[in-house]
Structure 1
Amino acid sequence: MSENTVLALVGSLRAGSTNRQLAEATAQVSPEGTTVVIFDGLAEIPFYNEDLDVEGQVPAAALRLREAAAGAAGILFFTPEYNGTMTAVLKNAIDWLSRPFGAGALKDKAVAVLGTAYGQYGGVWAHDDARKSLKIAGATVLEDVKVAIPGSVVRFAELHPKDDAEVVGQVTEALETLLGSGKVAA
């Protein structure tokens, strides 16, 4: 990855994930010279365990995630809301990226949280929890990026987010804010 690469982590593993579609829409609107790379492989990363996080023995999937995050200029986290919070797979990714504490791949990394959910608030509780965890992990969280699209199951039943002008505008603005944050060279 390079200084013009933004990593996208999607907290839903479902094949028809609307959050994955939202990440795809964001990748499609990236400005010339910037690439949004959607990370595949979060399902392969074991739950964080300090016994596994030993130099030279870190699981390959976790190492790939750390390398992708370290090499990215910034990171976009896409999360639905499961039981009022972020998904376990996304929390696990944050845990792996936060270590070693104070020097992990998230340290001072510009990040933003976006997402869509079935409920009427679009997953704001999950987004707030993700922002909290990311701050504690050392990331520079862009608090002014707020993309929470409600009613995902109905809204995107027959329409991909990339074909929804309002959504395209929101993800374009979020990406521009990330790139213009002063924390990302684009």
Structure 2
Amino acid sequence: MDENELFPSSRARHAPRILILYGSLRKRSYSRFAAEEAGRILTSLGAEVRFFHPNDLPLPDSVSDEHPKVQELRELVMWSEGMVWCSPERHGAMTAIMKAQIDWIPLSLGSVRPTQGKTLAVMQVCGGSQSFNAVNQLRILGRWMRLLTIPNQSSVPRAWDEFDQDGRMKPSAYYNRIVDVMEELVKFTLLTRDSHAYLVNRYSERVESHAELSARVNQSSAT
């Protein structure tokens, strides 16, 4: 293991780059409101924030991945060092809109892994009493995408009563929790982004790469 991967000689000085995804297309979308509130908090904490708006994103596998919205999403994921996923809970699960965005993000693009080793915070909004079904599912997806999903999370019950007419969140313990989650996301991003090469260095992949290299050398020698 290269020690420089674990202890880089210099640390990045730019603002943490955070991408926010939300899971609803409604005009008055509480998951978007919560995501926007998270974005304001992240900006105040010194992060650079970008949103992906899922309007016009096609269903996975229904079109080529050259579709402009798919390309936009993938470029934003590549740009980011951390992400926030915020979904409504619908029928006890995350929405199809939320899942479609994640399904369009590949585990690898050539030799590049767009998500592996980056940080993730998960949030949900509920129409009724508080639930954690959506955030639990998002955690499973985060693990599958090899993201570093932070311990803290946010679930906002009765979301229709937590935001004013302008879509701003009212002062409450639920708002305070979102602040906690965003603070933790920024901290984890700052702690891990400089060691990204170390975090994504896997034994099984080194073995596979060595085998491929040996095969190419042997083939070259044979010719």
TM value normalised by structure 1: 0.83
Deviates further, 77-86 or 90-99: 90-99
Q: Conserved in 2, the CA contact under 8 Å of 1:161 and 1:168?
A: no
Code of the residue aligned with 1:110 in structure 2: it is T
**Pairing 1:79-158 to 2, within 5 Å after superposition:** 79-100=87-108, 103-122=112-131, 124-142=132-150, 144-156=151-163, 158=165
* CA offset digits 1:63-117 (Å, max 9, x no partner): 1101111111210001110111111111111111134389542222211111211
TM value normalised by structure 2: 0.70
Deviation at 1:137, TM superposition (A): 1.9
Tell me, what secondary structure is at the counterpart of 2:49? strand
Larger helix percent: 2
Q: Conserved in 2, the CA contact under 8 Å of 1:3 and 1:71?
A: no
CA distance in 1, matches of 2:84, 2:166: 22
Match of 2:75 among 45, 67, 79: 67
Q: Conserved in 1, the CA contact under 8 Å of 2:163 and 2:170?
A: no
Q: Aligned residues: percent identity?
A: 22
Q: Conserved in 2, the CA contact under 8 Å of 1:94 and 1:134?
A: no
Q: 1:39 to 1:177 in 2, by over 3 A?
A: same
* CA offset digits 1:98-153 (Å, max 9, x no partner): 3438954222221111121112124x1011111111211222212x1221011112
Rg larger for = 2
**What is aligned with 2:46?**
33
**What is aligned with 2:184?**
177
CA distance in 2, matches of 1:11, 1:70: 20
Deviation at 1:35, TM superposition (A): 2.5
The alignment covers a number of residue pairs equal to 177
Deviation at 1:13, TM superposition (A): 1.1
Unaligned runs of 5+ in 1: none
Code of the residue aligned with 2:83 in structure 1: it is I
Q: Does 1:22 align with 2:34?
A: yes
| Aligned CA-pair RMSD | 2.4
Deviates further, 94-103 or 66-75: 94-103
- More relative contact order in 1 or in 2 (CA 8 Å, sep 6+)? 1
Q: Conserved in 2, the CA contact under 8 Å of 1:3 and 1:73?
A: no
